[in-house]
Structures are given as structure tokens and as C-alpha cells.
Structure 1
Amino acid sequence: MFKEYYNVIGVMSGTSLDGVDLACIKFNISERWTFEICQTETISYPENWQDKLNNAIHFTTDELNELNLEYTRYLASIISEFIIKHKLSEIDAICSHGHTILHQPQNGFTLQIGNLPLLGELLNCKIVCDFRVQDVQLGGQGAPLVPIGDEILFSEYDYCLNLGGFSNVSFKEKDKRIAFDISPVNTVLNYYANELGFPYDDAGNIAKSGSVDLDLLKQLNEIDYYKAAYPKSLGMEFVNQTIFPLLHSFSIDNKDKMRTFVEHIAIQIAAVCIKPNAKLFVTGGGVYNRFLMQRLQLHLSAIDVVIPDDKTIQFKEALIFALLGVLKLRDEVNVLSSVTGAKVNHSSGTIYNELL
């Protein structure tokens, strides 16, 4: 007999390198799933860790193994401090995504560091982690994983959109949940903000001061990925091999590149969210980019754009990975084949310290 109440910690680190998101979540599973986002915190990466995680895509196997060990220790210390600081007790599990370094589903490979058994040893708590590997082994993209949460927790919305390192969307089509990555977002905008000496583009003001380069915009919109059928997903490989070479080939100001890319993001999202009078639920750090949201709402004039409370905006992914962990503990489906392209729906993830 499964429990009706779970007290878990969701842990997420995204490709935008904003930091590690931690959220204590209470789930109630009686007639339907309900949740409460309790204590939350984002631990920003210090500069040395940003550099390591940015450059890790070029590491050798031995260097990656060492980084994985080092990052697992670092992640354990962050989680431990979060538990102590907020005086958390009776934790059923820590559900951790880790940090994606390599994502090559076409080659049958994905790597999220921080998911070693050492995490369970250091925290002496039940751990559920490494959610993507099994899906790739089953022929799936290993992403996106959030849509099962949209299905269970946010089904009243026609579209669920996340604006983070990448934009991704989930929606129902012919009674099946469909989801895929749409385009890069903060992975590109943050890069150019960094070039200008800023950690990010506050409220989108830098991009707003630029001008759209119509030739660049046209070439961005013609990239093959956007014409490809789903399931499909994006990683930093796409940004480094396709997006940056194109952007770097244009001798225009960075603010103009950012302005053009904001328009590109809005156009690509609008090309996907086409149901008239639909409700679009938007979360992720990109929501705070006011200029991006203005451009998005302009391109989605027939759609009701719904922005939730700050905790949900900032910690939805940590919430969903907490949910994935609970589903894994219950041996219930937490990855949808209609979303990832895997052979079957399945319950993915690794459990450490299962008997605790």
C-alpha cells in the first residue's frame, strides 16, 4: 500500500547555469495529486563552477569522471546546507536531476553529473536521480521530462511553456501528451550579456535597446531543427555547433544580436502555440525578461498568457523532478513515450539507499 503523503526535496540545475534550485515539496495523493511548494532556495554557482560546467563539454573521459565526483560532493554539500538551514526533517527522498553536460540521444548517450551513489552516502538519505539515461536506452530523446508533471499537476492549461536555458512546451494532441524543446533562450541571451559584462540581461533591457537584423532573423528561422518533427530535444551541442557560428558570422553589435534572437524566440514559440483562445502557462527564469514576454504576447495575441506566483515560476522544474522521484518510488510511469519517442512509457531513475 502506497503512502498518500510525501515530503521530498526536488533539486534541479539547468543549462542556463543560474545555479542549483532546491525546493521542499509536500505531495498529497488522495483523489488527485495536490502539492505545496514549501522552503525554496537557488544557490548561485561561483565563477569557478560556472567555468567548469561551461567547459566540461570539451573534457576528456577522465576529466569528466573527476568532475562528476567533484560535482557530486559539491551538490551534497548544497543539499545538506539547505536541509540544516530550513530545519527539514522526515524527508522521504531527495529527487535530483543533476547537471547535464552531454546530451546526444542520437548517439544513445546522455550524461548528467552529480548522480553518483556517493550522493546517497554523503547525505544518508533516500535518493532518486539519473532520470534521463533509461529513456535514451529505450530509444527516446531523454527529454523533455517535465511534461508528466504538466499532465498530472497542470492539466487545466492548453500549453505549458518553460523559458530557461531552452524553451520547451507540452500540450495534449489527440489525447496524448506531446512535448519538445522549441529553441535556445537563456543559453544564448546570457552568453551575450556576459560578453557585455553583465550576468544576464536584466528585464531584457539590453535586447530592447538593439535592432532586429532581418537577414540574421531569416537565417535563424530557417535552421533545420525548427522544421523537424517531434519528438526532438536540444542541448548545448546545438547551441555551440549551429546557433553560435551563425550569430558570430554577423558583424553587428551584441545588443542587436540579442534583439534579433529575442524576436526569433518569440516567433518560434508562436509557431508552436497555435490554438486560438488557448491558455498558456509560462514558467522559468525567462518570465522575468519583460521585453521577451512583451514580444511573446505580441506574437500570441489570440492566446491567454498565464504567469503564476514566483515560487512556481522559479521552482517548477524542481517541483516536477520531485514528482518524478515520487512516481519512481511508487513504481509508476514518470516518462511518457509520446513525449520522448521511447519504445514504451516507463518509470525512470535510480534509487540509492532504498531501504532507508
Structure 2
Amino acid sequence: MSELDRSQIQGHIESWVDPLLEQSLGSVGAVKSVGIEGKRVSVVIELPYACAHEHDALKRALSARVAETGADAEVEVQITQNIAAHSGQHKLPGLEGVRNIIAVASGKGGVGKSTTTTNLALALKAQGARVGVLDADIYGPSQGMMLGVPSGTRPQTAEEKYFLPVESLGVQVMSMSFLVDDNTPMVWRGPMVSGALQQLLNQTRWEDLDYLLIDMPPGTGDIQLTLSQRVPVSGAVIVTTPQDIALLDACKGIEMFRKVDIPVLGVIENMSTHICSNCGHEEAIFGSGGGDKLANEYQCELLGQMPLALAIREQADSGQPSVVADPDGPHAQRYLEIAAKLSARLAQRASQSSRIPNISIFGD
């Protein structure tokens, strides 16, 4: 093959638009090399987001892209992922060992935010990212139980001043439930809760995380304000249900993040439909279209919709959430799709914000 052929093939590959990033591979610098050896084409792609489950489809798409040039060649595509650190609000100093912090929040309780956080963390891990979870719901911590951490587990310490996160199901996790007895209520006023969160944030030694998901308590109170003032949050995800009352509170959550300059990466509509465990009939018992309406109103994306299914609740309660309990099942597949979209939206936002606008000079 001639050099011209190689340039043509590389151009075709670079112009291919990634369906999740919604940008061409060339524009995000994802094409690292295109090599020609006889009738063999070798392509190396480095993606800026986590999507390990999408790699096979991407390889097929790029092989077809090479075939469009008329080249009669064997195509070998190698795909890697490199998740960069993205800046947060107010140029706050980051947490050591953490590249990106994502807050998972809801306007009100009872919408399945903690279950969503757990499965989202496991889905990001399954997509090839290193993930941690910080349980910031001081009054009602639940991440330890959902991630299968045995009751009574205590974190190890380092240098007599740092907590080492507990690792379970391949995810690093830190929670107030690891520091107190299970039945001990946190009868604390706001300043004490804020102080506890700061201690968990600043004294946990995370190890090389691509994403730290923070399971926020419901509402827009002390914890949310403390988080926005202390650490750079790369983005937030809002969990809601289709009900009007839940959407009303979700709006307040989005407005709060906007006021503290934290971008909302998207909305997850939980309990979107009810699936009958006997016949499989699916019905929108809480209404429909609420997540779409919320996302459209605030110019963000509906990342996905999860059903109200008995299996999701039972698996989370047993410490084996859907993504690990039934990785090939429909619920796990939905969480994997949401995780890839979320990771892509953060990478997309970073690439767009880093672009320098053109300066045009007009003569008098």
C-alpha cells in the first residue's frame, strides 16, 4: 500500500463520529496511530471515557470504516482508555488519588438514589474505570450494606491520621457506617454533620481513582453546601422518579448545583415503569415523560430510565447489586449504558470547555 492509502485510511478513521462522545475521533485526539504492513492495517485508539463493553462494536465500526476506502486489508484495532482529571468549581484543590468527583443527588428521599449510586459505580468499574464511593448520607448511610461490606467492618488507618477505604466488589468505599455501630443514630446538628463529611473527605486515602461517586443525602442542605465549598466536583447526576412531586424537588437540586457552579451531567429517571414479576407486563404507574421534561427544561441529558423491579431491590439489599448479581441481565445492561453515557458526557464537556475561541480582527 502507498503512503497516500495510509493517509486516506487515517482520515476516514479520524472523521468517524463516536456515538457517545458525539465528536469525531480526530477532534478528541483519540487516534494514536495507523500502521500499514503489507495488507494489514493496525489502528490504536485511546478513548477519553470508560466504555469497555462498547469496544467490540467500535472495532467492527472502524473495520467497516476502513473497508469504505476500498482497501482490501485485514484490520486490527487496539482500544485503550485514558480518563483524565477534569477541573471542578472555583479552582478548588482536588483530593489526592482522585481524578474526578461526581455527586449523585436527589431533591427528595425515596427515589432510589443510593441504589442507583451503587449500581452506577459497579457499572463504571465494569466499563474499565477505577471507582470509589463516598457515602455522604451521614444520617442514613447504606453504601456499606449495598456493596456487601460485612457488618462491623472498620477501616484500617495509615500514619495515624488517614482512613484506608474498604474495598468490596472491586470498588473502594468509605462510609460513616464503618465508624459507628449499625444501630447508633447520628443525633447531630448541621455543623457536626458538615464536620464529619470534611473528615471523610480529607482523611480518606483513595488509591488511583478515575471516579469518586459521592452518594449525597436528599435535599439542598449543609452537606451539599460543604461539598461545593471544599472539593472540586467535576459534575453532578440527578436521580428522580416520574412523579410531579419528585420532579419539583429535582428542579431545586439542579438549581442548587448551578448556583455553586457544578455542572449537571444528566438525569436518571428511576422507577420509570413497574414490571410485573409474574407476567412481565410493564406499566408507568408513576407517570411518564417526567425525566425527559426535566432534562429538556434544564438543557441536560436524560442518561437513562430504570424500572421499578423487585430484583433490583432484592439484589441491592443482599449486597450483590444487579450489575454483579446478573451482569448479563437487562437491568445491568441499562446501568452499563448509563455509565458509558455519563463518562462520555464528562469527557465531552471537558473537551468543549478547553477549546479556545477564534479571534477575528476586522479593519476599520
Q: TM-score range by the shorter chain?
A: under 0.3
TM-score with structure 2 setting the length: 0.28
The structure whose Rg is larger is 2
TM-score by length of 1: 0.28
Question: Going by fraction, where is helix more abundant, 1 or 2?
Answer: 1
